């Protein structure tokens, strides 16, 4: 082969090589075009998914405090401790260290750490300090997972009114249930980078959307009043061997609830162990026939409509027929010629029926509606019931109910409805919307700026005139001064009040022995303002309780003794 042939061969080989390279690069370019241009979005998404991870940043649930700022509900961290046995280098050493911290036998911990499983649970809901001590061991294969739990420093004292928060972070009952979405806040998102094993790469987050922390609530409740109310209620329940009871203390001028106590109760810190029937707040969920305490409303209707005055007389022969039903007094006796004030003081059913029939069914039920019966009070507590009130025209309303309703039978109310109505009398006839939250405190997601929203009292309507309320209050003072409620008297204070003893309806008529006792009281004295010094008003505190089986409530007197000299301001 000549040199010329060799050069020619080389030339062709170069051409061939060039073609091969061109083809190869073309394929690569085509692939690049395919990946970088045509499949760009899809592949980028896959890559991002592999590299980026989105972590949900849970918000802190808002705290709840009483009117003085004492903490009633807050959040703590509990740790769930688990392990991946295949990753543990020295199970014996780790078992001996964990056993001390978890207060478990070393053998038990060792058995779990050497189990042939990819994951084992060691302990749940470990207290914060123990969890952090375990975390500081920094042992490979040990997993410490923090979990937010709701705790209530006052335990049972505020159980009904606060409600509970489940492990999923949702509130039920009471304030927790009513304001769940506000308290809960909204979760944030943190976009981080991870390595192929899934560990977080310590670089600044790619994107961070901070969580909206839950709104904190300052309640109108005063934990001292709450405590005294609870003590007195428990004492009364024990004294009279009653099954259950409720005490509510309200500021009638604003509708602010100062104490809401019910018994029996439960510990919200361990609600899973409690009877679920105890969880609803009896103050807003339970209905009862109010009995004679309801006469306050009947007398208010009679006075406000001009049908009666305190001095109006009526001859009581012990019975009155309304709608074909004979209504008798509680003592089955006639009391002769009585004034309306006497009728209230002696709690005469016949006089109540006389008033309601004289007022007339339309006006009588209009007054009941004006006092809020048959409707929700719209208090900011979960699971409120509207009570039960039949109206003329309803299929199940009978004319005799005009008589029975006048002394609180055949009508069902919640304790909160009753106290709200009585508070209207104490507040010169103004019916206020009951409320339990005084302030909402919100912290911004992007700044630490606090926004405070104050809750203003809401006037629902005028239930009766100012004059009617004043006259009725004077009559109720007489009811305390002159008659059976003498235990409610407090020297130096002008107390207005009315007892009630309601029978308990059963499937076969009323229960022969058991009753529900109630007492509505207004402080109508010279210095009614316990918490707002300098303000003058007819009343500042009142309570309704219904320990079963007994009408007398000496507990209320003791409570009043505690309450009334409360230092102002």
Partner 1 sequence: MASHALPIPIAQARKRPRSQAAEQELSLQTVFFLFLALAILFGWLHVILSLEIASTGRQIQLKSDELEALQRDNNLLRWQVAAALSPQKLAVRARELGYGPQPPLYLPLTKADSQKPLP
Which residue ranges make up the site for partner 1 (CB under 8 A)?
A: 4, 7-8, 11, 70-72, 74-77, 128-129, 132, 151, 153-155, 157, 202-204, 223-224, 227, 491-492, 526-527, 533-534, 561
Q: How far is the CB of 526 from partner 1 (least distance, A)?
A: 6
Q: How far is the CB of 448 from partner 1 (least distance, A)?
A: 12
- Residue 322 corresponds to which tokens in the numbers above? 């309304």
Q: Rank residues 105 and 153 by Cβ distance to partner 1 and give the closer one.
A: 153
Pairwise CA distance, residues 263 & 3, whole Å: 115
Q: Rank residues 311 and 491 by Cβ distance to partner 1 and give the closer one.
A: 491
Sequence-separated (6 or more) residues with CB below 8 Å from residue 549:
240, 241, 242, 243, 513, 514, 515, 517
Half-sphere exposure of 557 (CA within 13 A, CB side): 13
Q: Rank residues 34 and 128 by Cβ distance to partner 1 and give the closer one.
A: 128
Q: Rank residues 80 and 132 by Cβ distance to partner 1 and give the closer one.
A: 132
Nearest to 65 by CA among 173, 221, 283, 257: 221
Q: How far is the CB of 203 from partner 1 (least distance, A)?
A: 5
Q: How far is the CB of 163 from partner 1 (least distance, A)?
A: 18
Q: How far is the CB of 559 from partner 1 (least distance, A)?
A: 11
Pairwise CA distance, residues 236 & 252, whole Å: 24
- Residue 188 corresponds to which tokens in the numbers above? 């944030």
Nearest to 516 by CA among 405, 414, 389: 414
Pairwise CA distance, residues 245 & 384, whole Å: 17
Q: Rank residues 53 and 527 by Cβ distance to partner 1 and give the closer one.
A: 527
Q: How far is the CB of 36 from partner 1 (least distance, A)?
A: 22
Which helix (DSSP H) or strand (DSSP E) does residue 296 occupy? helix 295-304
How many Cβ atoms are within 10 Å of 531's Cβ, its own excluded? 18
405, with CB counted inside 10 A (0-12, 13-18, 19+), is: buried
Q: How far is the CB of 323 from partner 1 (least distance, A)?
A: 48
Name the region of 161 (left: φ>0; alpha: ψ -120 to 50; beta: rest). alpha
Complete DSSP assignment for 159-215? HHHH-EE-TTS-EESHHHHHTHHHHH-B-EEEEEEB-TTSPBPSS--SEEE--BPPP
Sequence-separated (6 or more) residues with CB below 8 Å from residue 39:
none
Q: How far is the CB of 74 from partner 1 (least distance, A)?
A: 5
Q: Rank residues 70 and 398 by Cβ distance to partner 1 and give the closer one.
A: 70
Please state the length of the chain.
569
Pair 544, 415: CB distance under 8 Å = yes
Sequence-separated (6 or more) residues with CB below 8 Å from residue 315:
336, 337, 338
Q: Rank residues 105 and 533 by Cβ distance to partner 1 and give the closer one.
A: 533
- Residue 132 corresponds to which tokens in the numbers above? 């952090």
Q: What share of the chain is helix, strand, coil (3-state, %, to 5)?
A: 40, 25, 35
Name the region of 78 (left: φ>0; alpha: ψ -120 to 50; beta: rest). beta
Complete DSSP assignment for 134-151? HHTT--TTEEEEEEEEEE
Q: Rank residues 325 and 489 by Cβ distance to partner 1 and give the closer one.
A: 489
Q: How far is the CB of 260 from partner 1 (least distance, A)?
A: 15
Q: How far is the CB of 560 from partner 1 (least distance, A)?
A: 10
Q: What is the 3-state secondary structure (H, E, C) of 60-112?
A: CCCCEECCCCCEEEEEEEEEEEEECHHHCCCHHHHHHHHHHHHCCCHHHHHHH
Q: Rank residues 204 and 512 by Cβ distance to partner 1 and give the closer one.
A: 204
Q: How far is the CB of 554 from partner 1 (least distance, A)?
A: 13
Q: Rank residues 231 and 483 by Cβ distance to partner 1 and give the closer one.
A: 231
Q: How far is the CB of 130 from partner 1 (least distance, A)?
A: 12
Q: Rank residues 201 and 453 by Cβ distance to partner 1 and give the closer one.
A: 201
Q: Rank residues 11 and 315 by Cβ distance to partner 1 and give the closer one.
A: 11
Q: Rank residues 262 and 298 by Cβ distance to partner 1 and give the closer one.
A: 262
Q: How far is the CB of 8 from partner 1 (least distance, A)?
A: 6
């Amino acid at each position: 082969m000549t040199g010329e042939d060799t050069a020619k061969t080389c030339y062709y080989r170069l051409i061939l090589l060039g073609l091969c390279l061109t083809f190869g690069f073309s394929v690569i370019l085509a692939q690049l075009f395919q990946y970088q241009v045509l499949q760009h979005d899809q592949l980028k998404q896959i890559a991002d998914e592999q590299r980026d991870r989105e972590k949900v940043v849970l918000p802190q649930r808002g705290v709840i405090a009483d009117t003085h700022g004492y903490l009633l509900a807050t959040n703590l961290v509990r740790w769930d401790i688990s392990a991946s046995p295949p990753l543990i280098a020295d199970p014996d050493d780790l078992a001996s260290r964990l056993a001390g911290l978890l207060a478990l036998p070393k053998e038990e911990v060792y058995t779990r750490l050497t189990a042939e499983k990819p994951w084992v649970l060691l302990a749940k809901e470990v207290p914060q300090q123990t969890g952090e001590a375990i975390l500081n061991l920094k042992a490979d294969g040990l997993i410490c997972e923090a979990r937010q739990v709701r705790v209530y420093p006052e335990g049972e004292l505020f159980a009904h009114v606060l409600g509970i928060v489940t492990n999923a972070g949702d509130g039920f009952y009471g304030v927790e249930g009513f304001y769940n979405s506000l308290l809960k806040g909204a979760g944030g998102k943190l976009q981080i980078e991870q390595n192929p094993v899934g560990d977080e790469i310590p670089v600044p987050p790619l994107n961070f959307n901070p969580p909206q922390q839950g709104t904190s609530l300052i309640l109108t409740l005063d934990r001292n009043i709450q405590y005294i109310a609870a003590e007195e209620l428990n004492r009364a329940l024990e004294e009279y061997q009653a099954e259950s009871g409720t005490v509510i203390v309200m500021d009638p001028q604003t509708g602010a609830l100062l104490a809401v106590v019910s018994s029996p109760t439960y510990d919200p810190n361990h609600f899973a162990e409690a009877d679920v029937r105890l969880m609803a707040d009896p103050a807003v969920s339970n209905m009862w026939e109010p009995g004679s305490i309801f006469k306050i409303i009947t007398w208010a209707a009679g006075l406000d409509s001009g049908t009666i005055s305190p001095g109006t007389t009526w001859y009581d022969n012990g019975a009155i027929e309304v709608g074909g039903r004979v209504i008798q007094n509680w003592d089955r006796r006639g009391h002769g010629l009585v004034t309306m004030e006497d009728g209230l003081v002696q709690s005469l059913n016949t006089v109540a029926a006389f008033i309601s029939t004289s007022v007339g069914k339309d006006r009588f039920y209009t007054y009941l509606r004006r006092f809020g019966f048959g409707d929700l009070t719209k208090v900011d507590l979960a699971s409120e019931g509207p009570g039960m009130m039949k109206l003329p025209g309803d299929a199940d309303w009978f004319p005799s109910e005009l008589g029975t309703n006048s002394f609180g039978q055949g009508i069902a109310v919640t304790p909160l409805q009753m106290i709200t109505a009585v508070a209207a009398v104490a507040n010169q006839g103004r019916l206020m919307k009951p409320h339990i939250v005084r302030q909402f405190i919100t912290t911004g997601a992007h700044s630490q700026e606090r926004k405070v929203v104050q809750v203003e009292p809401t006037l629902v309507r005028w239930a009766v005139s100012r004059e009617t309320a004043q006259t009725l209050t004077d009559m109720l003072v007489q009811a305390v001064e002159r008659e059976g409620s003498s235990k409610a008297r407090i020297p130096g204070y002008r107390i207005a009040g009315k007892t009630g003893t309601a029978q308990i309806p059963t499937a076969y008529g009323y229960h022969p022995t058991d009753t529900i006792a109630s007492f509505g009281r207004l402080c109508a004295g010279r210095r009614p303002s316990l918490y707002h010094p300098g303000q003058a008003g007819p009343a500042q505190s009142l309570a309704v309780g219904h320990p079963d089986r007994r009408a007398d409530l000496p507990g209320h007197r003791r409570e009043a003794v505690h309450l009334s000299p409360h230092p102002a301001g």
